[in-house]
Amino acid sequence: MESHHNRLKEINAQIKLKLAEGDLKGAERLSAKLVETAEGIEAASEQGNPFDALSMVSKLMTSVTAHFPSVAATTVATSEQLELARRDAIDNEHLRLLTVFHYVNAGLLLMISSVFLLYALMALFMILASFSAPGSQGPPLIVGTMMMIITLIPVAFTWSLAAANVWAGRQITNRQNHLRCLIVSAVNCMNIPFGTILGVCSILVLARDSVKSKYPQISS
């Protein structure tokens, strides 16, 4: 019976050594082995349980906790660190996708502006025709001029918004100008439907506290 007692104490000593080395998984495996050994000892005992092995295991594990009170706190801290790492990975991926879609939105805006450029080109031809045609044979100058103004306004707006999206995508990558990126996202909401979706998603992501902490000018 003394040999069983020494066996349990030996396993318990190994558990303490693993905990001292910071090997939590090794300590967990040895703890399971300690319990299995104690159960085997009690099952093999033919007398009226003169040697309470499981009770001894309980006392040994209590001594482990007393010697290593920081083990539970270390486990909790590790879980919190894993959760923070998971959230950080999600935030980084969402910010990466926002950068890509800002560039895509800029390309779509340039494609839209090409339609208005065609009308602007037609207006230019009308203006040139009004100067080259004699008398009243050419189109009125006012028509071509008004058409040119009407078409150039959306062209200027879409080009400006496209440039702002490229800039915002770059700033999101560099984690800079958080407030101005939010402003660009709000303006994107006017570009239905893709710009609206991008703007809303950008505002939701950039408004997270975990994302704000990635911007030095906010966290400082």
Same domain, 10 and 44: yes
* 197 within a domain of the structure (yes/no): yes
Same domain, 48 and 152: no
User: Which of 68, 103, 122 delimits the end of a domain?
Assistant: 68
Number of domains in the chain: 2
- Residue 77's pLDDT is 47
- Residue 207's pLDDT is 94
Same domain, 98 and 180: yes
* 81 within a domain of the structure (yes/no): no
- Residue 117's pLDDT is 85
* 145 within a domain of the structure (yes/no): yes
* 154 within a domain of the structure (yes/no): yes
- Residue 198's pLDDT is 95
- Residue 55's pLDDT is 62
Q: Which long-range contacts (CB under 8 A, 24 or more apart) does 139-147 make?
A: 147/119, 147/122, 147/123
- Residue 3's pLDDT is 66
Same domain, 215 and 112: yes
Same domain, 196 and 99: yes
* 109 within a domain of the structure (yes/no): yes
- Residue 4's pLDDT is 61
* CA distances (Å), origin 76, targets 72, 83, 166: 6, 11, 42
Same domain, 144 and 95: yes
In sequence order, the 6+-apart residues with CB closer than 8 A to the CB of 191 are 105, 109, 161, 199
Same domain, 126 and 178: yes
Same domain, 102 and 177: yes
User: Which of 15, 36, 68 delimits the end of a domain?
Assistant: 68
Q: What is the pLDDT along the chain (220 residues), one digit of tens a residue?
A: 556 667 767 777 777 677 666 676 777 777 777 667 766 665 655 454 445 655 655 655 565 555 555 555 554 445 676 677 788 889 999 999 999 999 999 999 999 888 888 888 888 888 787 777 655 566 677 877 888 888 888 889 999 999 999 999 999 999 999 999 999 999 999 988 899 999 999 999 999 999 999 998 775 5
* 77 within a domain of the structure (yes/no): no
The residue range of the domain holding 53 is 2-68
